[in-house]
Amino acid sequence: MNRQQTLMPLPLAAEMIAAGQVLCIAGDEAALRQLPHGQWIGGTIPYFMTGDGGQVSRDQVFVTPVTGFAEPPRLRLRDRAALPGICRDAPESGYSIVIIPAFSDCHVEFAQHAPDYEEMYLKPLVGWIAGVHLDDLAQAKPRVVLGPTGEFADDCAVVMDVPLPPERFAQIDIVNLFHPGHGPAIVFPASGFTVGACSLDGQPGNLAEYLASAGIDTRLPLVADYCGALVNVSIKAVDRASGRVELYAPVFPGLDYRIAAPVDDYVASFHQALPGQTPEIAFSCNCILNYLHSGLEGKRTGDLVGPFTFGEIGYQLLNQTLVYLTVR
């Protein structure tokens, strides 16, 4: 673990900014608005995994220093139209951190089209989806911050491009504890965040009706094999009357999805999934649904710390995973 990554009081974060450090900061909007301008990017969220375990804080911020770069990182906002160039414009040697506001046009654009972006998967792209306290969902908007100007945005992504020396390289790893269960293969006719009609083991069906009639635990995500990697799509809400299911990430046509098998002990399973010797972590984030469904308040997940987010980015959008970046 990078011991500098930690939840801290605002005055300490402000000192680091004033000293010219390059930082990635997560926190409640009211807390982020108290920070000075400087070389940092940020996103709203008040849920964190710390060295003392999972916790909620509205008056502290989680700070991840960015170090070891070959030249000063480039910080900027990208609107929906500019988002497809995020990897093309990234450093040839290095990585990029991106934060996107949940429920924004950028969120939809990235979720549905990121796998097709130019040079995607060729340059490391890591980050997260900004959110809000769950009590504030009805009245607060997730936002990102461009530290050099102090600009807050709810309709743009914020990006930090980090060039590395030629002898160093960045690697993204994803910890996903879920795997497909033994239920029917679910195939959708089109992509989208809201779905209904589907096929169930080749027979016409409706996902909302299936989830309700089969008594499915909707804390479990849909899981599919995306070119050799298991990717989760988390369930947000089920409306049996309308036959619609809202999701936290889009499904794609032609893939076989299945409801995930239950995970008996998240913390124990997580520790088993981690590599034996984890090198120094440059960045990490975990999913808010893991925090909620697995009861992670006060519990640790090894040495990995960072914000609990409304979605994780390990190249493409992910749900109910933990993503971390190492620089070797």
Q: What is the pLDDT of residue 186?
A: 98
Q: Is 273 helix (H, G, I), strand (E, B) or coil?
A: helix
CA angle, corner 168, sides to 327 and 15, nearest 5? 55
Q: For residue range 231-258, list pLDDT tens digits in order.
A: 999 999 999 999 999 999 999 999 999 9
**Range 152-168 average pLDDT:** 97
Q: What is the mean pLDDT of the chain?
A: 94
Query: Using the 8-state DSSP alphabet, how is residue 229 labeled?
Result: E
Whether 302 has a pLDDT exceeding 90, the answer reads: no
Whether 2 has a pLDDT exceeding 60, the answer reads: no
Residue 31 contacts residue 10 (beta carbons within 8 Å)? yes
Whether 42 has a pLDDT exceeding 70, the answer reads: yes
**Range 279-291 average pLDDT:** 91
Q: For residue range 95-137, list pLDDT tens digits in order.
A: 999 999 999 999 999 999 999 999 999 999 999 999 999 999 8
Domain boundaries, the chain: 6-174+267-327, 186-259
Whether 3 has a pLDDT exceeding 70, the answer reads: no
Which DSSP string corresponds to 7-55? EEEHHHHHHHHHTT--EEEEE-HHHHTTSPSSSEEEEE--EEEETTEEE
Strand partners, 25: 42, 63
CA angle, corner 110, sides to 106 and 114, nearest 5? 155
Q: What is the pLDDT of residue 270?
A: 79
Q: What is the pLDDT of residue 280?
A: 80
CA distance 73 to 173: 22
Whether 41 has a pLDDT exceeding 80, the answer reads: yes
Could you list the beta-strand ranges (E) of 136-291: 144-146, 151-153, 157-163, 170-175, 186-187, 192-195, 197-200, 203-206, 222-226, 229-233, 235-239, 244-251, 258-259, 281-287
CA distance 71 to 86: 19
User: Within 13 Å of residue 90, how many CA atoms lie on the same side as its CB?
Assistant: 29
Q: Nearest to residue 221, comparing CAs of 269, 287, 133?
A: 287
